Amino acid sequence: MMKHGPVDVVVLAIGEPRFDGSILKELERQSAAGTIRVLDVMVLFKQENGECMRLDLEDMSPEQKTKLGFIETGTRGLFDSDDAETLWEGMVPDSAVIALAIEHTWAVALVNAIAASGVEVALNFRVPAPIVDEAFASLATN
């Protein structure tokens, strides 16, 4: 029996960092609903002069940590310095990156039902939301 759902690593690239809290709010909402579990997060900045900085959750104020209480504490650290170095290489100056490890907890029961039925997953891939929107839009015009 599976105990965990599939995990996506999502890297969000932010050209001009402006954090309004909407992403955080939605992650918290989905976590509270049991749809996902945020396993880890890494926030990176590359300044205009090329200097790289990493914001660690452990270095945040108690108030900031409280706002991020939905991020699992036992799984923090999945992203390491090698991951940061790799992402910094691809970043343009004056930008930010947020890397998220998100477990799809909604899928645990489905994965167990598939396994209990003796069925094997032959292929699994993700189609990004913008491509799905384009596909539905093209169906509407036909």
How many domains, the chain? 1
pLDDT, tens digit, for every residue of 9-45? 999 998 876 778 888 899 999 999 999 999 999 999 9
List the domain range (segments joined by +) for residue 51: 7-141
Residue 19 near residue 88 (C-beta atoms within 8 A): no
Edge-first strand order for the sheet with 95-103 is 7-14, 95-103, 37-46, 52-55
Q: What is the pLDDT of residues 123-141, one digit of tens each?
A: 888 898 999 999 999 998 8
